Amino acid sequence: MTSTVSPKTALTFDDYLAYDDGTDNRYELVDGALVAMPPESPENNAIAKSLFVELLKYFTLALVAYKDTEVEVTGRLARCRIPDLLVHSEASLAALAGTNRATLTRDMPPPLLVVEVVSPGEANRNRDYRYKHTEYAARAIAEYWIVDPQLRQVTVCQWVEGQYEDTVFTGIDPLRSAIVPDLEITIDQLFALDQPSENP
């Protein structure tokens, strides 16, 4: 469950970048409020790690970020998201060169792909399917994958003329992506990767 830290006044994006509460807590910024990011479930972590390994077959390690790169997005007030996985464009990676924080601000080029693994709970589903869908589209990110362990499906959102067109993949469907056209994994295979091996 996420928790919100509500300062007396809404934080600006610069406030967020300067914020340090002396802990190792991770926060997203949502309309000027800090939202603590709790640890993920073992299943979600396994799926994200499996996808990370899969993406490394097609992109260099420098281009693939695992839960460590922020993306400034638009909202009612300042917002910043930390996707589970991110694939940089050459331009977005270059924009971070020499910076002291892996934060893609709105004046920087967008990444090619962001991936969110949906956590249990209606609030998390709304965040990934509704709010982030709008935010990432407004940021002109070419693809957004919504990986849903509960429904055992992946929604691939492709950016077309300012908005996302969504395609849902399930079961034996191969996961299709314009960003990773040579990807060879079915949805069943993806969700099987988070299961422990039966071999001793």
The domain of 76 spans 40-192
120 domain residue, yes or no: yes
What value, to the nearest 5°, has the Cα angle with vertex 11 and ends 8 and 15?
125
pLDDT digits (tens, 9 = 90+) for 132-145: 999 999 999 999 99
Query: What DSSP state is assigned to residue 24?
Result: -
50 domain residue, yes or no: yes
149 domain residue, yes or no: yes
**Pairing between β-strand 113-117 and β-strand 143-148 as defined by DSSP bridges:** parallel
Global pTM? 0.84
Q: Specify the pLDDT at position 7.
A: 53
1 domain residue, yes or no: no
How many domains are contained in the chain? 1
* CATH classification at residue 138: 3.90.1570.10
Could you give the count of Cα atoms lying within 13 Å of 170 in the half-sphere of its Cβ? 7
Average pLDDT over the chain, rounded to an integer:
88
7 domain residue, yes or no: no
pLDDT digits (tens, 9 = 90+) for 180-190: 999 999 999 99
Structure-token pair, residue 119: 């956590």
Structure-token pair, residue 19: 């914020």
Alpha helices in 63-186 (DSSP H): 90-95, 122-126, 132-138
pLDDT at residue 113 is higher than 50: yes
100 domain residue, yes or no: yes
Residue 134 · residue 162 · CB < 8 Å: no
24 domain residue, yes or no: no
Nearest to 59 by CA among 103, 99, 107, 111: 111
In this structure, what is the dihedral angle of CA atoms 86, 127, 102, 29, given to the nearest 10 degrees?
170
